[in-house]
Amino acid sequence: MKLLDIRDLKTFYGKSQALFGVDLSVEEGEAVALMGRNGMGKTTTIRSVCHLTPAQSGSINFAGKEIMRMKPHRIARLGVGLVPEGRRCFPNLTVEENILAAARPGKWTLDGVNALFPRLAERRDQYASTLSGGEQQMLAIGRALATNPRLLILDEATEGLAPVIRQDIWRAIRTIRAEGQSILIVDKTLSELLPVADRCVILEKGRTAWTGAPTALTDEIQQRFLGV
Ligand code: ATP
């Protein structure tokens, strides 16, 4: 069953058009890697799904409901859990309070998040503002998971972090995947991203240009769309 089904999405920033026709779907239990060079529309697509930058036309179906005109809090309530670029936690709440403030009943509990990120467990009583950037990113992921989303969206969750922390986050993402969590993920580290993805969707100038299995992503396609 399709959990997320985006068709012909068009989004503008003021008069400037960023998305010209994005098609993208995520099946229940699937991990989809959203790819493309800088500025091709990955973050805008994610922001459109969450109604943070509302789309102008097209359709966004989530779990059988049209959500394109819904407000962000309703979309979150339906089960879209976003870890935005540049992580956001409540600085004046402790680690544990941050997680509990987000928590909704389901398989991911405070204990589950603590097991996933032992570094967070060790810092449970610390204010979020005192965490390192990497730890704040872990907390952002932990918070999103604690909402027990049907779809977890990760936008550049490992960008700009120290290598050891990146390893911890990738390990967590692999565990989350192994639990069968549906995921839409943007990340530049292809060597880590491709092994966790069931399918890749590549954007080029605000349009879906290619979709296929990671194994079908040849050097030629990478050269053409990702410029590596
Ligand atoms: P990156 O990897 O650099 O984040 P991206 O694929 O996520 O790239 P977007 O951030 O979605 O790309 O950008 C898509 C287009 O929209 C770009 O042309 C960008 O300049 C433009 N854009 C993004 N944010 C804004 C904004 N707040 N106002 C105006 N234009 C924007």
**pLDDT tens-digit map of 116-160:** 999 999 999 999 999 999 999 999 999 999 999 999 999 999 999
Check whether 88 has a pLDDT greater than 80.
no
Edge-first strand order for the sheet with 57-62 is: 65-66, 57-62, 2-13, 16-27, 207-212, 199-204, 31-35, 182-186, 151-155, 80-83
- Residue 90, CA distances (Å) to 14, 96, 98, 140, 190 in order: 30, 11, 6, 10, 31
**Mean pLDDT in the chain?**
96
Q: Is 207 in the pocket of ligand 1 (CB under 6 A)?
A: no
**pLDDT tens-digit map of 170-196:** 999 999 999 999 999 999 999 999 999
CA distance 209 to 158: 25
Check whether 97 has a pLDDT greater than 80.
yes
The residue whose C-alpha atom lies closest to atom 31 belonging to ligand 1 is: 13
Compute, in angstroms, the gap from residue 189 CA to the centroid of ligand 1.
Answer: 19
The residue whose C-alpha atom lies closest to atom 30 belonging to ligand 1 is: 13
3-state secondary structure 67-119: CCCCCHHHHHHHCEEEECCCCCCCCCCEHHHHHHHHCCCCCCCHHHHHHHCHH
Compute, in angstroms, the gap from residue 45 CA to the centroid of ligand 1.
Answer: 10
ipTM of the complex: 0.94
Average pLDDT estimate for 216-220 = 95
Q: Is 49 in the pocket of ligand 1 (CB under 6 A)?
A: no
CA distance 129 to 197: 32
